[in-house]
């Protein structure tokens, strides 16, 4: 699978990241099914170009990783069947166009608990895309454009599964040699409540979580383990960045709260 993610920050507000170009080539090797999850082992080639307000960085990877997919009760619902949580209500729906997919609606189409006993629609602006999950090809895939020039996109551009092949292969330019590098892992992503953070090192480190505006919303010093859980169920929906800091080195992973 070849997947491209591209985010463009708006031009009118000060945000730490102005442009984010993430290109990934995945080759799935092993699929293991457990009672409460599915674990994939996969090879990855990836380039991430990030343009900040004061600098530009390029990260490249060529390694083998694992991905843990946990149960999501929402995917067991029928087309149009309500999904009710402690704070909201919405429904997914199915489509069978070029792909068979299940679609999670835009947050603008979700009802939220208000000040009283009634549910009300959210009022907001910017990118609030619907998320598409393609049968057998993962997700979420989405596109949205904001009101002031910002945009977010994650799309499947190519896949090959057995004799079935679709799309055009992703070309990753500007990298002559990929480097193998340990990487911070955060899952599930997207998430609704608790996340698991796996840090590849053994030294003490600090975890910071930043919102899309660059504000710190969580800080914790970790000294005894490299795998732990954080409950973020009270956080509002949106984009966050998990940062692991040790000495002068930092690893960052982008996550999305549903």
**pLDDT tens column, 138-185:** 999 999 886 667 788 999 999 999 899 999 999 876 555 555 445 678
CA distance 177 to 174: 9
pTM over 0.75: no
Of the listed ranges 6-10, 52-56, 181-185, the one predicted with least confidence: 181-185
What's the mean per-residue pLDDT of the chain?
Answer: 82
Cβ atoms 242, 220 nearer than 8 A: no
| High-pLDDT (> 70) share of the chain, % | 86
Please tell me the predicted confidence (pLDDT) of residue 155.
Answer: 95
Cβ atoms 190, 133 nearer than 8 A: no
Q: How many CB atoms lie within 10 A of CB 124?
A: 11
Please tell me the predicted confidence (pLDDT) of residue 180.
Answer: 46
Residue 26's pLDDT band, with cuts at 50, 70 and 90, is very high
Cβ atoms 94, 103 nearer than 8 A: yes
Report residue 164: phi and psi, to 5°: -90, 130
Cα–Cα distances in Å, from 155 out to 61, 93, 134, 135?
20, 19, 11, 14
Please tell me the predicted confidence (pLDDT) of residue 14.
Answer: 54
The more confidently predicted of residues 113 and 91 is 91
Q: Residue 11 above 70 pLDDT?
A: no
Cα–Cα distances in Å, from 195 out to 38, 47, 68, 181?
16, 24, 11, 22
């Amino acid at each position: 699978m070849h997947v491209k993610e591209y985010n463009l920050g708006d031009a009118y507000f000060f945000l730490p990241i102005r442009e984010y170009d993430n290109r990934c080539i995945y080759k799935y090797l092993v699929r293991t099914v457990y009672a409460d999850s599915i674990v994939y082992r996969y090879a990855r080639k990836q380039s991430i170009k990030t343009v900040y307000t004061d600098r530009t960085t390029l990260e490249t990877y060529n390694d083998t990783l694992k991905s843990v997919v946990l149960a999501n009760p929402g995917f067991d619902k029928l087309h149009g069947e309500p999904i009710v949580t402690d704070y909201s209500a919405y429904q997914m729906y199915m489509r069978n166009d070029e792909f068979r997919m299940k679609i999670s609606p835009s947050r603008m189409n979700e009802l939220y608990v208000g000040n009283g006993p009634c549910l009300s629609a959210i009022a907001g602006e910017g990118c609030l895309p619907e998320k598409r999950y393609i049968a057998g090809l993962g997700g979420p895939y989405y596109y949205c454009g904001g009101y002031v020039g910002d945009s977010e996109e994650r799309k499947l551009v190519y896949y090959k599964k057995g004799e079935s092949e679709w799309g055009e292969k992703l070309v990753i330019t500007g990298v002559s040699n990929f480097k193998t590098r340990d990487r911070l892992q955060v899952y599930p992503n997207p998430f609704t409540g608790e996340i698991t953070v796996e840090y590849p090192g053994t030294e003490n480190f600090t975890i910071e979580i930043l919102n899309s505006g660059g504000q710190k919303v969580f800080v914790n010093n970790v000294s005894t383990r490299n795998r732990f859980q954080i409950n973020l169920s009270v956080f509002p929906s949106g984009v966050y960045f998990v940062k692991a800091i040790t000495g002068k080195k930092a690893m960052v992973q982008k996550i999305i709260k549903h």
